[in-house]
Copies of this chain bind each other. A is one copy, B any other.
C-alpha cells in the first residue's frame, strides 16, 4: 500500500516567502510516500499579464524547486506541486515532481484556462509517467483544467500511470462531474489538490477581478469514488492508502479490459 497525501491551503498572491513557510508548516511531520500540493502554490494564481508572471516565475534553480527538492529528500517522498516556471523569456504553468533522490521532473500544463492564456505559454512537456523510486507506484501529472480534456488522463493511463496527481486552482464546480470520470474511465487513482480562498486583483479599468477557489480536494479511487474529501473553504491535509497494483489489470469484468477493448481504428480524433 502507498500512503498518499493531498494538501489544500490558501496561497497568498506574489508572496513566495510566506507561501513556502505555510507549506513547510502544513507538511511538517507528514510521513507519506506521495504528497500533492495545489497549482501555482508558491505564487498565487491571479496573474493578469505575462510580465507579472515573469516577475514571480523561476527556473529549476529557483527557491521553490529547492524547497520541494529538500523536502522530498528529507521525507523520502515524491512531492508534486504547481509553480510558475521561467524558461528564458517564456513562462509556463508547471508542476514539479521532486523525488527522494533529489532529482526533479517538470510537467507544463497543456490546457491553459481563462487569463492564463495571456500569461503563460501552452505546455510543451507532453505527458509522461514517473516511477516512484521507493514504492511501487507509477505517477503521472496533469494540472487543473487538463481535467476537461479526456485525452490528458487517457494519455497518462496509456503510458502506465497508476495514479494521476492533479495540482489545481479550480473556480468552477463542473470539475466534480469530470474528475471522477477520469479515474473511472482509466481505472487509475486520481489525487486532486485544490486550493481554497479568494484572490482579488484590480483590473486596468479599475474594476475588481475576484476569484474564489472551491477547495474540496479529493482522492478518487479507480471507480471514481472519493476516498477522502476536504471542505470547500478550509486548509486541509488528507491522507489515504492506495494500492497501485490494483490499477494494472484493466479488466472490469471477465470479458472486458478497459484498454484492450479500445478501438482506435474506429475513432475520429482528428
Q: What is the copy number of this chain in the assembly?
A: 2
Residues on B with C-beta less than 8 A from A232 are none
Contacts known (A258-B148, A266-B124, A269-B264); A177 close to B174, Cβ less than 8 A: no
Describe A's contact surface by its main secondary structure.
Answer: loop
Question: With an 8 A cutoff between CB atoms, is A244 at the interface?
Answer: no
Bound form: Cα–Cα A264–B110 in Å = 10
Residues on B with C-beta less than 8 A from A115 are 255
Question: With an 8 A cutoff between CB atoms, is A123 at the interface?
Answer: yes
Contacts known (A115-B255, A150-B150, A177-B180); A110 close to B185, Cβ less than 8 A: no
Question: With an 8 A cutoff between CB atoms, is A181 at the interface?
Answer: yes
Question: With an 8 A cutoff between CB atoms, is A67 at the interface?
Answer: no
Contacting pair A262 B181 (CB below 8 A): no
Q: Give A154-192 interface residues, CB cut-off 8 Å to B.
A: 154-155, 158-159, 174, 177-178, 180-181, 184-185
Contacting pair A268 B181 (CB below 8 A): no
Residues on B with C-beta less than 8 A from A185 are 148-150, 178, 181
Bound form: Cα–Cα A264–B270 in Å = 8
Question: With an 8 A cutoff between CB atoms, is A253 at the interface?
Answer: yes
Q: Give A64-114 interface residues, CB cut-off 8 Å to B.
A: 110-114
Bound form: Cα–Cα A110–B266 in Å = 8
Q: How many residues of A contact B (CB 8 A)?
A: 47
Q: Give A246-270 interface residues, CB cut-off 8 Å to B.
A: 252-256, 258, 261-264, 266-270
**Contact with A268, one of B117, B126, B224 (Cβ below 8 angstroms):** B126
Contacting pair B269 A154 (CB below 8 A): yes
The 4 closest A-B pairs by CB, nearest first: A181-B181, A150-B150, A155-B268, A151-B267
Question: Can you list 30 A-B pairs, Cβ within 8 angstroms, ordered by A?
Answer: A110-B263, A110-B266, A112-B261, A113-B255, A114-B253, A114-B256, A117-B255, A117-B256, A126-B266, A126-B268, A148-B252, A148-B258, A150-B181, A150-B185, A151-B262, A151-B263, A151-B264, A151-B267, A152-B267, A154-B269, A155-B267, A155-B268, A174-B184, A174-B224, A177-B181, A178-B184, A178-B224, A264-B269, A264-B270, A269-B269
Q: A113-B255, A113-B256, A127-B266 are in contact. List 8 more A-B contacts (CB 8 A).
A: A145-B256, A148-B252, A149-B262, A150-B154, A151-B267, A158-B270, A177-B181, A177-B224
- Residues of chain A having any CB pair with chain B under 8 Å: 110-115, 117-118, 122-124, 126-127, 145, 148-152, 154-155, 158-159, 174, 177-178, 180-181, 184-185, 223-224, 252-256, 258, 261-264, 266-270
